[in-house]
Amino acid sequence: MAYHVPTTEFEFEDGELKGLVVEFRHPSLDDYFDLVEAATAATEGDGLEPVRDLFRKVAAVGLVSWNLENGSGPVPATPENFTRHLTPLAGMVLVNRYLSEMGGLPGPLAVPSGAGTTSAKPPAKKPRSR
């Protein structure tokens, strides 16, 4: 029996990506190292080109399929279409989720939380008596 590189499906049930289903391939070790370098460059670099490069690398390495459509019908799952047809927020959400799920890589950009709540402040520590 042969080993097949696993894939992971992301299905979005709310927010801007509601209804989107995306299948990503898990990266090889070489691809993982390239993604680490690209994520570092996107986080620490100047300008948008390192971020665009990371988005395209994620799509080239991992994007298998999606159910994205535009007014003309289905949009093929390609690296070019990943950056051409997704909104900036949608692209950030997908890239950050892929990176975090495929090896704990930090995402390139902070994505606003979808939840509108704030966690409770922890109680103040009581001084210890001796």
Domain locations along the chain: 47-107
pLDDT digits (tens, 9 = 90+) for 19-71: 999 999 999 999 999 999 999 999 888 889 999 999 999 999 999 999 999 98
- Helix (DSSP H) and strand (DSSP E) numbers for the chain: 4, 5
pLDDT band for position 102 (cuts 50, 70, 90): confident
- Residue 98 token pair: 């892929």
3 state DSSP class of 70: strand
CB 80 within 8 A of CB 68: no
Strand partners, 112: none
> Inter-axis angle of helices 88-101 and 49-62, to 10 degrees?
60
